[in-house]
Amino acid sequence: MRRWYEMRAGAGGAAPEIQIYDQIGQSSFGEETLSAKDFARDLRALGDVSEIVCCINSPGGDVYDGVAIYNLLAQHPAKVTARIDGIAASAASLIAMAADEIVMPENAFMLVHEPMGMAVGPSETLLSVAADLARMTESFAATYSKRSGMSVEDIKALMKENRLMTAAEAKEKGFCDVLGEPVQMVASYSLAGLPAEARKTLEKVMKQQHRGKARAEMDPEQDPEDPAMEADPEEDPTMADDDPVEDPAEKTRDQQIAEHCRQIMELCNLADLPEMAPEMVAKLMPIAEVRKTLVAAKAALARQNRVLGIHGTKPKTKEVNHGWDDIVAKLNQGAGRKRA
């Protein structure tokens, strides 16, 4: 089971540490991750502690898991220190607001933005989802406002900007209490879910740090103040990478979701059950489960038709059976492959 966080007791009297180093909560594609319920269980298992350090390097994730974890930390009797080791974006930035003290190295980032969602269905469904997102925005803005001291309206304007805040900006706006020494930034997760400009900024920073570290390891006596150490590859063509920042063959998270939804709708149409697609798409049901559900639904419908005599006296021909067998075969095609 893939963990998106790790919780461990402090050694030698140090404060227990929570590492949130991945996307938060349940994956959109059915991956097995841990829920806020598991987070609560592990937090209780720490016992009676007086201090907790929550280390964050996350692009965000599930809204409800984020809210639940925020509340768990905000209500905990221990002093909670949030340390933003790389980026605290979206739901991860909300979790940071639960801390009594927020520490950001000078090269760390924070991103607050309006909650996002996806819906498939008639206009009433889309309007309902839009209203839910508006309420979430109000709730998030109130939380950010309470912690930072900014007005709710100013917070909403900042959320609409959808851009990264540097550590210095975050401190200036009240989202951070202490600036720390810069750290080497790494990401064990995909940056595709972040807004385009935020993703480009992070990729550029991490590449520059990687180059600086590589050069320091190759020539440890080189002057760290040498301007060549800080050269921008966009301005110095001799430093350009042969590899692109982002493989164009890799699909972004939004493209993956769109492709996943398209596959669900195609399978539902193939099974002649298009009415089942909206609910499956809304849940982003794994493809293997979609196939299984559709086969079961077709089988149940066939049994019901036989009981009700819908086919009348029409004989059951081999051709009719072959047509259904063909559909089942197509639905199960590739069932052994990895889930989308």
Catalytic residue set: 90, 113
- Could you tell me the two tokens for 246? 């982002």
* Beta-carbon-side half-sphere exposure of residue 318 (alpha carbons within 13 Å): 0
Q: How far apart are the C-alpha atoms of 76 and 48, rounded to whole Å? A: 10
C-alpha distances (whole Å) from 21 to each of 10, 89, 104, 146 are 18, 12, 15, 25
Contact 97/78 with Cβ under 8 angstroms? no
Contact 121/282 with Cβ under 8 angstroms? yes
Rg of the chain (C-alpha set): 25
Alpha helices by DSSP H, 162-276: 167-173, 196-218, 253-270
Angle at the Cα of 34 from the Cα atoms of 125 and 90, rounded to 5 degrees = 55
The residue type found at 218 is M
3-state DSSP assignment of residue 14: coil
